[in-house]
Amino acid sequence: MGSFFAKYKFFGIVMLALSGVIVYLFYNALQPKKMLPVYQPSMVDKSLVDSTLHYTKKYHKIGDFSLVNQNGDTITQNNYKDKIYVADFFFTTCPTICPIMTKNMAEIQEVIKDKPNVMLLSHSVTPQIDTVAQLKRYAMEKGVLDHKWNLVTGNKKQIYELARKSYLAVKNDGDGGPFDMIHTENFILVDKEKRIRGFYDGTNRDDIDRLLEDLKILEASYTE
């Protein structure tokens, strides 16, 4: 009897392992795949959204734009055509949250540097200060890769409207007159169809990790 069990011991171990693999595969197949929401203005804090969009519940997309980057090149929506990207709003002389946001955006840049379909886009909320030369100095200091990350400046009204009507990312007018922007720490994940797929606190470690996980999910959705 002992020799019988010894003879088939290896076969039994193989079958047990195979059964475990089959159960694991079935379990994974039955788990619902995580899908990222498509954010609409009605889903966002009203203080971050232009009043004309407060009740918009579908079809929201990032509007067209034409701005200038750290190299003096004109950057439009065409530079981000068929790209996933992470956007934010900042200014180079910000002493509080911006240095942390830029550091974390640089970390994201490191993750995506070999991903041709993923880019970054940072908008200055003080374009009168953040000239091309100023943005270039800042870009060199922070290790910005020109082919992955555009720091853009331009017409303040256009940037304000992008922030409030497209990215839903800055608060109501500040005290500096028309189109003054009180920017938030938000990073915004945008898909290839120019839709918002996530908001993240650009100063929060856990949120950066969540953004990177959501980026993987979004990338995978284009390969299925």
Q: Which helix (H) or strand (E) holds 16?
A: helix 2-30
Q: CA-CA distances (angstroms) from residue 186 to 4, 29, 97?
A: 67, 34, 11
Annotated binding residue 94: yes
Helix axes 98-112, 205-221, angle to 10 degrees: 30
Annotated binding residue 54: no
Annotated binding residue 183: yes
Q: What are the residues whose beta carbons fall under 8 Å from the beta carbon of 37, sequence distance 6 or more?
A: 43, 197, 198
How far is the C-alpha of 223 from the C-alpha of 14, rounded, in Å?
Answer: 34
Q: What are the residues whose beta carbons fall under 8 Å from the beta carbon of 190, sequence distance 6 or more?
A: 62, 80, 84, 85, 86, 87, 196, 197
Q: What are the residues whose beta carbons fall under 8 Å from the beta carbon of 117, sequence distance 6 or more?
A: 82, 83, 84, 192, 219, 222
**110, 186, 188, 189: which is closest to 144 by C-alpha?**
110
Known binding-site positions: 94, 98, 183
Known binding-site positions for Cu cation: 94, 98, 183
